[in-house]
């Protein structure tokens, strides 16, 4: 009986060693929280730049899988307050939507095309002109980012906005919560965080200790079984 119990404990320890603390995934749109609240909930930075910078989507998100969770937020730099944020899987986020069309996921309405990407409260309509310039019925909760547009932040100018295609670049504005027209703004940041992927857990240091405990338990069981 003792040998069986020891085996169960050892196997359980091995299993627990591969369970990491997953990021806490908020449902719906969050407003007026601090960046540290997100980091303390198990998220880590994937990207953070001011609204005036344009970045290439394939470079920023190229390593993500469809099931990976991301957390899109707009941040006021003076105090690191998140004015609007929402979490979504990369697959749901990067799903093409037609002009002024959204799809609901995890408590928010999302859109993604060659005009802009972002989210708004479920039930709100959007007006992509070219970013979402609508008045948010749900309390100015939304966030909208230009795509395929560079107003000169990298020393060049291009405008290949087309709502009929998927975006290749993002940046150069436009809104975070009730704050709008953030074209070329350096006072506000766009940030993406990533959370742990349940399909690919990574052992943490504490978990490695548990793994060692499991191996030790199996070793003791094997010795007792031989005796």
Indicate the pTM of the whole model.
0.75
Query: Where along the chain do its domains lie?
Result: 21-200
pLDDT by 10s per residue, the chain, length 227: 545 433 333 434 434 333 335 699 999 999 999 999 999 999 999 999 999 888 999 999 999 999 999 999 999 999 999 999 999 999 999 999 999 999 999 999 999 999 999 999 998 999 998 889 886 655 557 999 999 876 555 445 567 888 888 899 998 888 999 898 888 788 999 999 998 654 333 433 344 444 454 445 444 444 444 44
**Consecutive H or E run containing 147:** strand 143-147
3-state secondary structure 153-193: CCCCCEECCECCCCCCEEEEEEEECCECCCCCCCCEEEEEE
Cross-sheet strand order for the sheet of 103-105: 54-56, 169-176, 143-147, 116-120, 108-112, 103-105
Question: What angle do helix axes 205-226 and 2-16 make, rounded to 10 degrees?
Answer: 160
The answer, yes or no, to whether the previous bond of 130 is cis (omega within 30 of 0) is: yes
Strand partners, 117: 112, 145
**Consecutive H or E run containing 56:** strand 54-56
> What token pair was written down for 84?
């609007």
How many Å apart are CA 215 and CA 219, to the nearest integer? 6
């Amino acid at each position: 009986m003792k040998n069986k119990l020891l085996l169960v404990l050892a196997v359980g320890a091995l299993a627990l060693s591969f369970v990491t603390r997953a990021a806490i995934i908020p449902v719906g749109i969050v407003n007026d929280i601090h960046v540290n609240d997100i980091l303390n909930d198990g998220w880590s930075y994937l990207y953070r730049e001011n609204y005036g910078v344009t970045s290439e989507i394939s470079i920023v998100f190229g390593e993500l899988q469809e099931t990976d969770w991301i957390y899109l937020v707009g941040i006021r730099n003076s105090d690191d307050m998140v004015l609007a944020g929402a979490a979504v899987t990369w697959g749901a986020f990067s799903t093409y939507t037609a002009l002024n069309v959204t799809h609901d996921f995890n408590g928010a309405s999302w859109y993604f095309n060659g005009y802009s990407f972002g989210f708004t409260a479920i039930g709100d309509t959007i007006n992509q002109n070219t970013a979402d310039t609508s008045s948010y019925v749900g309390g100015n909760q939304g966030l909208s980012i230009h795509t395929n547009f560079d107003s000169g932040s990298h020393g060049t100018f291009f405008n290949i906005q087309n709502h009929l295609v998927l975006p290749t670049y993002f940046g150069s504005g436009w809104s975070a919560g009730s704050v709008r027209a953030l074209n070329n703004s350096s006072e506000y940041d766009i940030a993406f965080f990533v959370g742990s992927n349940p399909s690919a857990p990574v052992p943490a240091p504490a978990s490695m200790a548990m793994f060692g405990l499991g191996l030790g338990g199996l070793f003791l069981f094997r010795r007792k079984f031989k005796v």
